[in-house]
Chains A and B, each alone.
Chain A
Amino acid sequence: MLGVAVVTAVQLTQRSAREALSYTERVLVGAVTHRLVAQDGLINEQVFADLSLAFPALRPLPVLGFDAEVPGAPPHALRVVGLDLINGSLPARGAPNQSNSLLPLLRDPATGLVNSKTRRALLSNHGTTVELQVKGGKTKLNLLAAPERTLALDLPDDLIVVDIATAQALANQPGKLSAIDLALPATDRDKLAAAIQARLPAGLVLRDSAADRVQQQALTRAFETNLTALSLLVLVVGMFLIYNTESFLIVQRKALFGGLRALGVTRRELLIAVLVEAGLLGVIASIIGVACGVALAHALLQLVTGTINDLYYRVAVTAVSLPPATMGAIALGGVVATLLAALSPALEATRVPVTDALHARDSSLYAPAARTWRVSVAAALLALLLMRLSSDNLWIDYAALLALMLAVSIQIPGVQSLVVAGLLTRLRSRRWWPERIALGNLLRQRRRVGPATTALCVAAVVSVGMQVMISSFRSAVEVWLTQLLRADIYIAYTDHTPREMGESALAELRSKLLALTEVRAVSSVTRLTKPGVNGPVALIVYDLPEPARAGVQFIAGRASDVWARWETSDVAIVTEPFAYHNKLAIGATVNLETPRGPQRFTIAGIYRDYANERGAVALSRPTYARHWPPAGYSGLGVYARKETGIAKLRAQVETLTTANASLEIHANAELRRNALAVFDRTFVITKTLGFLTLGVSMVGVVSALLAQQLEQARQYGTLRALGINGYELACIVFAQTLVIGVVATLLALPLGVGLGVYLIRVINLHSFGWTMPATVAWRQLGAIALSLLGAALVAGIYPTLRALHTSPARALRNE
């Protein structure tokens, strides 16, 4: 159930986040094939007029979208989209009166359309007006509810639709559009697109919407795959649990089964009965699991969209979308997993010799362990084969991982037995009698204890592995950031301000900064998207004065070579993910579309970059200027002279920027801190999953110990009768738990480190394209080890307490 819950939660969260991404501005569906945007900022509406008149059959649709928020604690973030409602920007459906709802938007300059849920949320008390904070200041907007079932598309949450004129007024952007949507006919589409692009002024790009959507989805795909795989892992651990529980249930009723068989119930009938029971339990548990998963998804969604907000762009958090098909599929998967896991114990139940039941004996309990080494070898070989096969396919990587984990985890009970037997030979002296009883129990009851230990161990391995990966990643990012951020002060636009081509607050600021005596140098960066061979390419244009250059960490190519040609030749440096995804090496070329046609840039260096998993190409500003019209700035870095204090410099910079509310200033340390905070937030989900896994397996340990106790009720009674008091008995149980915990922890540490290395070298590389050194933070590992041990011990608390209160008479009463 927990496993199902987690899988449900992750799937729903991912789907919702994905939909949120694609909904936020794309109210139009179907017909729109291309979207025209400015690379930096907004589009002059004259472009729209020009396009309309030049291509009369085209019917372009104007869009002006911007962020707004309803002030409050906390403020409610919204997106406002202005559309040409006359032209039918909102696809309609059915009923004749739908256009009535659009009339007020056309007449009243302060009216907008929202879906009823958002309307309820925003107009909490009364009235129909909400106050909005937009870039231009505060404004009031009348909110109308979108008529249900009359728009072909349900408006997403937190989206206000207004007329384009209203949008321009609200955003204080008269004469501007954020995008122009086009529906190009299928015939000669590319020729038309090229003709349109040719007509556009510099800085405007015609993007293929389908390709764009694919791109966006590729962004989160790696993210998603990892999450899904981890959640499936939780399900696998859950299957161990099911195995345990089923065994437990069967153990309890051994006598019953034997009796049934004695009465003449066939093996097959018994098997079916047990499986049906397991199946029913599975159905109930899956349903509860899915319900819990939905609740969990709500929580996770906040985390995920927080991450997306941080990393990509603003997304209005929508509700968890609940497609019945997905939930049904997961529930079904839970039932199937239950049946699979229950199969072995069920078969065991059918094989209970009749005599066993009659004599209240469990001859299978001490059966020698199955020959598992064959399975291990086979699984290991499979894993190796898969690893050979895998080039980039994350699913093959995870399959190989699973095979490897199977190979290893099957051996865990055997390893535990070895350890226990070894301990037994050492603890010969008299005073270890409780421990010897405990060890004897562990040794001889592999069938019961084995799966629980394995589950705990596997969960521990996963936890350790993820922790190793995360901490390696984090320290790599930290090191990278430290080396990268060399400027003392950074200045950039705040997120919500669109930038203009040509006119740039930063350009002015830059010249002023260079004039200051405290300033040694100013670096700059501009982030653009340019069409490349395989689609749009993220292009970074750098102004890197001497002190900034050391910040670029080359993985391939010599820095001195690069800088020698950096500004004078047509060279580019690319980020590691870019080189990886496009399979490029030093000396290869990157083709970019310039206004004068395609241009080749030689790759002189490959550098480390964890900021963008799509990868980017970087050019020096002089190189860029040779092929494109001048670009504005996205950010500046200010380097102080050695003698200058940072505080003084910052004060100077602030005086220069106070007039401009659209700029933000960050000190170096602040920036690094913020970036790491984003990183930490991003991995909260992964860590949470790790804890959940551990929790799931703890439950397994508890159930195994309880099952064991049930079987050993008689043994405990005997021991009590022999003169072992409750505390001593509790010690025995506790010792068992301790051994399980210690073995699991000791095994988990090296295996977990191995998993971590695999995650770094294979999964991370194939997902994103970047490499990092695998660093093991011993202190953190120690902390994990302690918490694993603690988890095992906590799992043992309840069984221990029960043992404490065993009454000999009651235990032996069945004579």
Chain B
Amino acid sequence: MTALIVGRGLGMCYPGSSAGVFEALNFEVASGEFVAILGRSGSGKSTLLHLLGAMEQPTSGSLTIGGIKLDGLDDIAQTAFRRRHLGFVFQAYNLVPTLTVAENLRLPLDLNGIAEGDSIAQMLEALGLENRARRYPDQLSGGEQQRVAIGRALIHAPDLILADEPTGNLDAETSAEVLALLQRLVRTRRHTLIVATHSLDAARNADRIFQLDHGRLVSP
């Protein structure tokens, strides 16, 4: 399998703090892999995810996703990259509260100029939320909202799905359901999935586990 993500000497430190978050990370992620990034809170896993998500620029090193160099991109290019190639699942769901479920799912399609077709209906079915299409996020439970978020992350067939503590706000039972759904959908559509978490349960089914400890990647 080809390497989708290549990180070389990736370093990130914030101005004003003496110690970097991490420095000189080297890793590769193959296409279709499910990677879990483990680490305690504050270890920098969210930051690494932000870098992978083209939301921040690394202070040193290079990062390439799908052959596209991310470091050195300006904001417009980063945004365009995110739009096409990435899907996000957040701990706090972050659905657009003023849009319905169906509209939330539609958003990435509209952004990418993809015709709607059946994709939304199909996705709703896959998520098990057929009769929630017209509801607003504040009318759904946490689990349902996260499912919609997952649908939103996948609906435009991105190259990479990034999930930041996707089960952080959910109870154990719902967590398991959501995780199972995520992995199933990713596998059937052959997307690459990177999950940042501190929960071993979430990381259990990963192909590989990266551990971030004191700014260093262990067992890449």
Residues on A facing B (Cβ under 8 Å)? 360-361, 363, 365-366, 430-431, 433, 436-437, 440-441, 443-445, 714-715, 717-726, 807-809, 812, 815
Stretch at the interface among B23-31, B48-56, B60-68: B48-56
By a CB distance below 8 angstroms, the chain B residues around A443 are 98
Q: Do the beta carbons of B109 and A430 come within 8 Å of each other?
A: yes
Instruction: Report Cα–Cα, A720/B92, bound state, in Å.
Output: 15
Partner of A444, one of B46, B98, B108, B165: B98
Chain B residues 78-101 with CB under 8 Å of chain A are 79-84, 86, 88, 90-92, 94-99
By a CB distance below 8 angstroms, the chain A residues around B56 are 809
Chain A to chain B: the 3 pairs with minimum beta-carbon distance, closest first: A723-B83, A725-B79, A433-B110
B103 at the interface (CB under 8 A from A): yes
Max count, chain B CB within 10 A of own CB: residue among A445, A723, A812, A815: A723
Instruction: Report Cα–Cα, A724/B55, bound state, in Å.
Output: 12
Q: Do the beta carbons of A723 and B46 come within 8 Å of each other?
A: no
Residues on B facing A (Cβ under 8 Å)? 46, 50, 53, 55-56, 75-76, 79-84, 86, 88, 90-92, 94-99, 103, 106-113, 115-116, 136, 138, 152, 164-165, 168
* Residue in chain A with minimal CB distance to B169: A359
By a CB distance below 8 angstroms, the chain A residues around B97 are 365-366, 444, 715
Q: Do the beta carbons of B84 and A723 come within 8 Å of each other?
A: yes
Q: Do the beta carbons of B110 and A723 come within 8 Å of each other?
A: no
Instruction: Report Cα–Cα, A197/B50, bound state, in Å.
Output: 98
Q: Do the beta carbons of A433 and B111 come within 8 Å of each other?
A: yes
Given that A366-B138, A440-B98, A815-B46 are contacting pairs, would A360 and B92 also be in contact in the complex, using a CB cutoff of 8 Å? yes
Instruction: Report Cα–Cα, A723/B80, bound state, in Å.
Output: 6
User: 4 other contacts beyond A440-B96, A724-B111, A809-B55, with CB at 8 A cut-off?
Assistant: A437-B98, A715-B97, A720-B79, A807-B55
Q: Do the beta carbons of A725 and B80 come within 8 Å of each other?
A: yes
Given that A430-B116, A436-B103, A809-B55 are contacting pairs, would A721 and B88 also be in contact in the complex, using a CB cutoff of 8 Å? yes
Partner of A725, one of B75, B108, B138: B75
Partner of A437, one of B53, B81, B96: B96
* Residue in chain B with minimal CB distance to A813: B46
CB distance from B185 to the nearest CB of A (A): 18
Return 22 A-B CB contacts under 8 Å, by A number.
Answer: A361-B138, A366-B98, A366-B136, A430-B115, A433-B107, A433-B111, A440-B98, A445-B98, A714-B94, A715-B97, A718-B96, A721-B94, A722-B88, A722-B108, A722-B111, A723-B108, A724-B83, A724-B111, A812-B55, A812-B94, A815-B92, A815-B164
Q: Do the beta carbons of B46 and A722 come within 8 Å of each other?
A: no
Partner of B138, one of A363, A436, A714, A722: A363
By a CB distance below 8 angstroms, the chain B residues around A360 are 92
CB distance from B78 to the nearest CB of A (A): 8
By a CB distance below 8 angstroms, the chain B residues around A809 are 50, 55-56
* Residue in chain B with minimal CB distance to A431: B110
By a CB distance below 8 angstroms, the chain B residues around A430 are 109-110, 113, 115-116
Given that A440-B103, A444-B136 are contacting pairs, would A726 and B75 also be in contact in the complex, using a CB cutoff of 8 Å? yes
Given that A366-B138, A436-B103, A440-B103 are contacting pairs, would A722 and B98 also be in contact in the complex, using a CB cutoff of 8 Å? no
* Residue in chain B with minimal CB distance to A445: B98
By a CB distance below 8 angstroms, the chain B residues around A361 are 138
* Residue in chain A with minimal CB distance to B142: A359
CB distance from B56 to the nearest CB of A (A): 5
Given that A725-B80, A726-B75, A812-B90 are contacting pairs, would A715 and B96 also be in contact in the complex, using a CB cutoff of 8 Å? yes
CB distance from A337 to the nearest CB of B (A): 32
By a CB distance below 8 angstroms, the chain A residues around B90 are 718, 721, 812, 815
By a CB distance below 8 angstroms, the chain A residues around B168 are 815
Instruction: Report Cα–Cα, A365/B56, bound state, in Å.
Output: 31
CB distance from A804 to the nearest CB of B (A): 10
Instruction: Report Cα–Cα, A360/B53, bound state, in Å.
Output: 24
CB distance from B53 to the nearest CB of A (A): 7
Given that A430-B109, A815-B164 are contacting pairs, would A714 and B92 also be in contact in the complex, using a CB cutoff of 8 Å? yes
Max count, chain B CB within 10 A of own CB: residue among A431, A436, A724, A809: A809
* Residue in chain B with minimal CB distance to A815: B91
Q: Do the beta carbons of B98 and A723 come within 8 Å of each other?
A: no
CB distance from A793 to the nearest CB of B (A): 22
CB distance from B160 to the nearest CB of A (A): 13
* Residue in chain A with minimal CB distance to B86: A723
Instruction: Report Cα–Cα, A363/B90, bound state, in Å.
Output: 20
Q: Do the beta carbons of B96 and A723 come within 8 Å of each other?
A: no
Instruction: Report Cα–Cα, A717/B76, bound state, in Å.
Output: 15
Instruction: Report Cα–Cα, A704/B109, bound state, in Å.
Output: 31
Instruction: Report Cα–Cα, A721/B86, bound state, in Å.
Output: 9
By a CB distance below 8 angstroms, the chain A residues around B82 are 721-723
By a CB distance below 8 angstroms, the chain A residues around B91 are 815
Q: Do the beta carbons of A723 and B136 come within 8 Å of each other?
A: no
CB distance from B19 to the nearest CB of A (A): 18
Given that A433-B107, A723-B83, A725-B79 are contacting pairs, would A718 and B94 also be in contact in the complex, using a CB cutoff of 8 Å? yes
Instruction: Report Cα–Cα, A715/B94, bound state, in Å.
Output: 7
* Residue in chain B with minimal CB distance to A717: B94
Max count, chain A CB within 10 A of own CB: residue among B107, B109, B112: B107
Q: Do the beta carbons of B138 and A723 come within 8 Å of each other?
A: no
Instruction: Report Cα–Cα, A51/B83, bound state, in Å.
Output: 100
By a CB distance below 8 angstroms, the chain A residues around B106 are 433
* Residue in chain B with minimal CB distance to A805: B75
By a CB distance below 8 angstroms, the chain A residues around B95 are 718
By a CB distance below 8 angstroms, the chain B residues around A812 are 55, 90, 94
By a CB distance below 8 angstroms, the chain A residues around B46 are 815
By a CB distance below 8 angstroms, the chain A residues around B88 are 721-722
Q: Do the beta carbons of A719 and B96 come within 8 Å of each other?
A: yes
By a CB distance below 8 angstroms, the chain A residues around B80 are 723, 725
By a CB distance below 8 angstroms, the chain A residues around B84 are 723
* Residue in chain A with minimal CB distance to B100: A440
Max count, chain A CB within 10 A of own CB: residue among B80, B99, B106: B99
Instruction: Report Cα–Cα, A718/B88, bound state, in Å.
Output: 9
Instruction: Report Cα–Cα, A430/B116, bound state, in Å.
Output: 9
Q: Do the beta carbons of B107 and A722 come within 8 Å of each other?
A: yes
* Residue in chain A with minimal CB distance to B114: A430
Instruction: Report Cα–Cα, A808/B110, bound state, in Å.
Output: 20
By a CB distance below 8 angstroms, the chain B residues around A431 are 110
Q: Do the beta carbons of B75 and A441 come within 8 Å of each other?
A: no
Q: Do the beta carbons of A441 and B108 come within 8 Å of each other?
A: no
By a CB distance below 8 angstroms, the chain A residues around B138 are 361, 363, 365-366
* Residue in chain A with minimal CB distance to B196: A815
* Residue in chain A with minimal CB distance to B53: A721
By a CB distance below 8 angstroms, the chain B residues around A723 are 79-84, 86, 108, 111-112
By a CB distance below 8 angstroms, the chain A residues around B76 are 725
Instruction: Report Cα–Cα, A29/B91, bound state, in Å.
Output: 80
Max count, chain A CB within 10 A of own CB: residue among B76, B111, B116, B152: B111
CB distance from A426 to the nearest CB of B (A): 15
By a CB distance below 8 angstroms, the chain B residues around A440 are 96, 98-99, 103
Instruction: Report Cα–Cα, A808/B53, bound state, in Å.
Output: 10
By a CB distance below 8 angstroms, the chain A residues around B136 are 366, 444
Instruction: Report Cα–Cα, A724/B75, bound state, in Å.
Output: 10
Instruction: Report Cα–Cα, A433/B108, bound state, in Å.
Output: 10
By a CB distance below 8 angstroms, the chain A residues around B81 are 723
CB distance from A802 to the nearest CB of B (A): 15
Instruction: Report Cα–Cα, A445/B103, bound state, in Å.
Output: 17
Instruction: Report Cα–Cα, A544/B107, bound state, in Å.
Output: 80
Instruction: Report Cα–Cα, A359/B164, bound state, in Å.
Output: 17
Instruction: Report Cα–Cα, A715/B90, bound state, in Å.
Output: 12
Given that A430-B116, A714-B92, A815-B46 are contacting pairs, would A721 and B55 also be in contact in the complex, using a CB cutoff of 8 Å? yes
